[in-house]
Structure 1
Amino acid sequence: MTEFLAAFAVFLALHSIPAAPAVRAGIISRIGRRTYFVAYSAASLLALAWLFAAALKLDYVPLWDLQPWHAAITFVLAPLGGLLVIAGLISPNPLSITVRSSERPGAVVGITRHPVLLGFAIWAAGH
């Protein structure tokens, strides 16, 4: 449990500290935008991998008995969440990080302000 809490703390810090505009701007001014995003992405992926590995080492504690209909929920919500994540990443969104940048928001932003976050939430709810 200690390793999981440490991995979670590192992952949370990686997503909280650079979120402060002054901190992020200071780092970008020192190392450059491209280097920042490459380094930040790599550090985030490593922290996420560590968090998953630590979570898999924890004891399994069932919260409820599995029923056959639970699988149907996952088969509906997981693709819907995945679709929103992909649409959010490829659609221009001035309010979020995407593959394409533009001041004019894409169509999926008309449905939700943060399609990637909503997609992950729907995907997680299905699990």
Structure 2
Amino acid sequence: MIPLVLATIFFVGIHFVISGSRLRDTLVARLGESRFRAGFSLLSIFGLWWLAHAYRAAPYIETWGQLGWFKPAALLLMLPAFLFATLGTTPANPTAVGGAAPTAQTARGILRITRHPFLWGVALWAATHLIANGDAASLVLFGSLLLLAVGGTYAIDDKRLRMYGEDWEKYSLATSNLPFLAIIQKRNTLVPGEIGGWRPALALVLYLAMLHFHKGLFGVSPLF
């Protein structure tokens, strides 16, 4: 379990301490944006490999155990998780790496629902797996990824505010971090036609593929 905890500290730490703080600004000023991204990408890939390896090697220590009754709910929750994560790859997303500058025109499509669709997809995926697995290793892994995804939305907001200033403040007024909040507060409106068709279709294909291959890849069937 100790290697998993160390891998978690490393992966979460590089995101909050390096990428999500003013240290990033200092490193970018010294190295340049492209070199920083390349170096941080290598650290992230290593961190993901370490996490996966440590999780597979961790002993099974039951907490609340696998919840059979939760499987139908997990199947339902994973579909919007795939949708958010897939739709969040739009190049017009100002919160994405290398995304567009924040303007009123970029607060469209899935960004009307949340300006952090990818991270909320990860958060929903992590929360679902945390509840469904019910063991200590899963609590460490998925709990840390849930913390990183939700905390990352605030860290990115702070980073974009430092980068764009007043333009970001105007953009954030037209969007919301929490999904659907800007729509509920009538600061934006839902326009399904802006989302398009191929990205939701891709999300559905990926979702169905994961249902099919999940047991072969991870040893556990998500089906009943």
Q: Which TM-score applies when normalising by structure 2?
A: 0.49
1:114 offset after TM fit, Å? Answer: 1.6
Task: Tell me the alpha carbon deviations over residues 47-84 of structure 1, each in whole angstroms, 9 at most, x when there is no partner.
Answer: 121012112211113322442x5433333222321210
4+ residue runs over 3 A deviation:
none
1:97 aligns with 2:99: no
CA distance change for structure 1 residues 4 and 38 in 2, over 3 Å: closer, same or farther?
same
Give the match's secondary structure for 2:92. coil
**Equivalences, count:** 124
**Percent pairwise identity:** 27
Q: Secondary structure at the match of 1:90?
A: coil
Equivalent residues of 1:93, 1:109 under 8 A apart:
yes
Who is 1:82 aligned against?
82
Q: For 2:21, give the aligned amino acid.
A: A
Residue in structure 2 matched with residue 45 of structure 1 by the alignment: 45
Unaligned runs of 5+ in 1: none
Equivalent of 1:111 in 110, 113, 129: 113
Q: Name the SS of the counterpart of 2:100 in structure 1.
A: coil
CA RMSD in angstroms comes to 2.0
Is the alpha carbon distance of 1:99 and 1:29 closer, same or farther for their aligned partners in structure 2, counting shifts above 3 Å?
closer
Q: Distance in 2 between matches of 1:124 and 1:11?
A: 15
**Which structure 2 segments of 5+ residues have no match?**
130-224
Question: Partners in 2 of 1:51 and 1:122 — Cα distance?
Answer: 19
The Cα offsets for residues 11-37 of structure 1, whole Å up to 9 and x where unpaired, read as 12201112112x112211222111211
Q: Shift of the alpha carbon at 1:110?
A: 1.2
Residue 123 of structure 1 aligns with an amino acid whose one-letter code is W
C-alpha separation in 1, matches of 2:126 and 2:3: 23
CA gap of 1:65–1:32, structure 2 versus 1, over 3 A, is closer
Higher RCO structure, 1 or 2 (CA under 8 Å, sep 6+):
2
Q: TM-score, normalised by structure 1?
A: 0.81
